[in-house]
Amino acid sequence: MVNIYEEVQEPVSPHGQYFNSSVLCSYVFGFLELAIPFDVSLAIPLLKDVFIPINPRFSSTMVRDKDGMMRWKKVEVKPEEHIKIPKFPETTNSSSCELLYDNYFSDYVTSILHEKTPQDKPLWEIHLIKYPTRNAASTIIFKLHHALGDGYSLMSALLSCLERADDPYLPLSFPSRPPQLDSKYGQNNLFKKLCLDISSFFSSISDFGSSIIKTRMIEDDITPIRFGYEGIESLHVILSTISLSLDQIKEIKSKLGVTVNDVVCGIIFYGIRLYMEEMNEKTKTSNSTAVVMLNTRNIGGYQSLKEMQKPESKSLWGNRISFVQIPIPKLSKSDPLEFIWESHKEIQRKRHSFGVHLIGLLMDLEMKLRGPEAVAKIIYNTIRNTSVFFSNLVGPIEKMALANHPGLTVTVISYLKTLRMTLKTQKGFINEHKLKSCMKKSVELIFEAAMEIS
């Protein structure tokens, strides 16, 4: 009889190997903030009955088979080994306990950002923070290895564990995402279409070439947001968050005729330049680049768990991502809206470019010729040579609950009428309080400028 826990199953995808190498070890963190204290006795039943069955990778480890190929191996999961419940010092001062626990919470998050999960167990952990903070009565942190999947697939898995607070029998719904049609491509004139295709071809070749040069030869300037030295990833990091009004962002979007993503990028870029100017005025015109992650799935939003578990829906899982490199506009612009226009123009141009696909083909070739470690090094250099790395996800419209525990917000995604921006900064190098202040100022100035448009 074959023991199913010794079965060696599907190969680990190339991206899965890149993200779990000697060069890169990357995790996706999900923060579920609850409005009431979490009942810890529910943790193991929820993991056994809801979380672990979602996908076989949650009960598998990465092993090398006799041919040297990395595969997922089914193992027996002991949920209690994956649950971490920290103990903070107790306080008797009820008026300041939330602020005190905020500090303990921040220190704890900083510590788990650097710790690696054991390789002989499935690559995930759940951290149950039972202490109140200013944002929640209790917090659940999902630490999921990037080898298990990207933000889309892992967020889909987490959202499938949740339910609507008002009616658990109704599915969560998400903001509609109509097709983004570029008016230039809607022209009926064949000559114009041909010119656009030719322009796209040369633009794609240029994007591909500049990405190669950027990865292998050219680094961004040293600035108040870029340390620039090898080993910066070993420094402690701090997570800080900003809550923005999604309605306000949508007003800007409507006024300018762009996407929410364009507005968010413009706000971030402008906020970064404001911070750089405050810290060192000379760097407001420095050469700085952002790596923006893209979901390459040809879908408009999240799929239900039932849909994702169909055999033909394998492409919904794993890492289906690519990236584009966007130059951060310089602060010589007098109009803050230029940061949104520039973001919109660059993102639209690069989305229509096949340079992204050429990068993918090159990585596949490197994988075949030199192995996953070499490709991981390329990804590492791409991130190291640039100044900013960010991505975003869309969250549900309704209030969510986990086993009847109502939630306030899930970080790094939009939720209800709030967009939560999480900043990950190097401790002692970036002043996170000043950076947050500059981001808030960026929103205010961009909103004021947009509202002046008649």
Detail the DSSP E strand segments found in 7-69: 8-11, 27-34, 60-64
The residue type at 90: E
Confidence of residue 95 (pLDDT cuts 50, 70, 90): low
Q: pTM surpassing 0.85?
A: no
Q: Is 62 or 428 the better-scoring residue by pLDDT?
A: 62
The residue type at 395: G
The residue type at 364: D
Count other C-beta atoms under 10 Å from residue 296's C-beta.
15
Q: What is the mean pLDDT of the chain?
A: 78
User: 424 is written with which tokens?
Assistant: 């990950």
- The DSSP letter of residue 226 is B
- CATH architecture of the domain formed by 4-164: 2-Layer Sandwich (3.30)
- pLDDT tens digits, one per residue of 125-156: 999 999 998 888 999 999 999 999 887 778 77
Sorted by where each begins, the domain ranges of the chain are 4-164, 183-392+424-451
Strand duo 414-415 + 418-426: pairing: antiparallel
- Backbone dihedral region for residue 84 (phi beyond 0: left; psi -120 to 50: alpha; all else: beta): beta
pLDDT the model gives residue 114? 81
Residues 250, 260 contacting (CB under 8 angstroms)? yes
* 56 vs 75: CA distance, rounded Å: 10
Q: Which of 250-254, 271-275, 315-319 has the lowest mean pLDDT?
A: 315-319
Q: What is the DSSP string of 380-392?
A: HHHHHTSSEEE--
- For the domain spanning 183-392+424-451, the CATH number is 3.30.559
Q: Which of 73-77, 161-165, 240-244 has the lowest mean pLDDT?
A: 161-165
What's the Cα-to-Cα distance from 52 to each of 55, 157, 285, 368, rounded to whole Å? 7, 10, 49, 33
**Residues 245-268: what's their mean pLDDT?**
90
Among candidate residues 163, 143, 159, 147, the one with its CA nearest the CA of residue 308:
159
Confidence of residue 5 (pLDDT cuts 50, 70, 90): very low
Q: Is 354 or 178 the better-scoring residue by pLDDT?
A: 354
Residues 415, 396 contacting (CB under 8 angstroms)? yes
- pLDDT tens digits, one per residue of 27-58: 888 888 888 899 999 999 999 988 898 888 89
- pLDDT tens digits, one per residue of 373-387: 888 888 888 888 888
Residues 196, 204 contacting (CB under 8 angstroms)? no
What's the Cα-to-Cα distance from 135 to each of 48, 179, 405, 409, rounded to whole Å? 28, 35, 15, 9
Residues 409, 420 contacting (CB under 8 angstroms)? yes
φ, ψ at 278 (rounded to 5°) = -65, -35
Strand duo 388-390 + 289-295: pairing: parallel
Q: Which of 40-44, 117-121, 361-365 has the lowest mean pLDDT?
A: 361-365
